[in-house]
Amino acid sequence: MALSVSMLCLSCLSVVLATAFGAKAHIGKVHIRLYWVVPFVCAVVLLATGEVPLGQIEEQFFGDSDMNPLKTLAIFLSMSAMSVYLDKVGFFKYLATRVMKHAGTSQIKLFILLYLIISAVTIFTSNSTIVLTFTPFICYFAKNSNINPVPFVFMAYVAANTWSMFLVIGNTTNVYIATYFGVEFIEYVRMMALPTVFAAVTSFALLFLIFRKDLKEPLQASELEVTIRNKPALIVGVTGLGICTLLLIISSYIGLDMWIVCLCSAAAVMTGAVICFLAKKQSLLPLKKTAKRMPWHLIPFLLSMFVVVLSLMNNGVTEAIASVFDNRFSLLSFGALSAGASNLMNNLPMSMFFVGILSAVSEPNLMQAVFATVIGSNMGSLLTPVASMSAMMWLSIVKHKKVKFRFIDFVKKGVIITLPTLGAALGGLALMFAL
């Protein structure tokens, strides 16, 4: 047991430090993120010492069950590929420029319109994609319009990490927790729609109150233009993502696994994109950039952390923790605990650790605890940048763009937003279970 616990602590600490300091290896022009290295070594140690038998790994990785981490990876990487591809063909920037033109000279109108468009596209893509795409573009726009970028970039981050709860595909943590416990797409939406709306209304109201003075300043009309070089390629991407979402909605009724739907949709989009670019005799550079920006580093990390969690389950650690919180207050306790733990160990390893704990929760309280943990994994990322990788990426972009917004500034505003928003989301979830 001691070895398993120490490997978990070491893995989580290394992830937080590596993410906070942006640890990378540089091989030529290729930059490799290193946060997964220590968890990988810990997994190897656990396998070598017999804490996790190789037979168990084979059964979990290649067995036909919802707990298979390879299925989670297939869903996440497939959705990431389609989202990043849409970014590379200019879809998100095109939407942003249209919104900015409609705002005219009103910062308040721009704030509201940007919030709406970011929320909408986050639902069907993922929070990390939106953070990476919209943040630099907003910084560029704010500089050219001579306005304070902080209200807009922070709003974009909060919106992306709030509406990422709405669909299972919105966040890696959603995918992992939901697929592990066999939560189907339509059931997830049914339970999480109301909590997401409650959280969104609360967070937006707080954002507006925090930044209301800045937003009263006039705005210079935008002259930004984004040209779509290959409209058929854009249509292929949007259509593919739309069909994928529709198939996910009906997947449980037609007997299709979510990972198969996502994988086939991504393959179809990439194939269609190649045809579109070749037909117009254009470079395949957008596809190359898509492949380059894919989060491949999540593969060794997720698989390694899965081994660490298995060792904790084998030694009864997760069961012991579950016994403490497995009661009629499971919804509140798991929601608060997962949000807090996200800020100690990052929300992805937290989710993997909590899956082990949730596996030992009794049936009457299980689904309340599962959905509450999903909420905590998303809402926790609003408190400090340590809580999620998207937060650290966001903060690094903001720093690179010379926007005055420090770690402590994030925490100050995060405290104001997170607690009421988390409470609203958990309240919405409690209402769903009461109906």
pLDDT in tens, 362-376: 888 999 999 999 999
Average pLDDT over residues 305-331: 85
Taking the C-alpha atoms of residue 159 and residue 199, their distance in angstroms, rounded to an integer, is 10
Given a contact cutoff of 8 angstroms between Cβ atoms, the answer to whether 203 and 162 are in contact is yes
Q: Are 26 and 360 in contact (CB under 8 A)?
A: no
Residue 157's φ and ψ, nearest 5 degrees, are -65, -45
pTM: 0.85
Which pLDDT value is given to residue 30?
A: 66
**Each residue of 393-428: pLDDT tens digit?**
788 788 878 888 888 899 999 999 999 999 999 999
Model pLDDT, residue 390? 80
C-alpha span between 52 and 309 (Å, rounded): 10
Q: What is the pLDDT of residue 29?
A: 66
Two tokens at 373? 């943990």
* Residue 98 to residue 319: CA distance in whole angstroms: 52
The mean predicted confidence, pLDDT, of the chain is 87
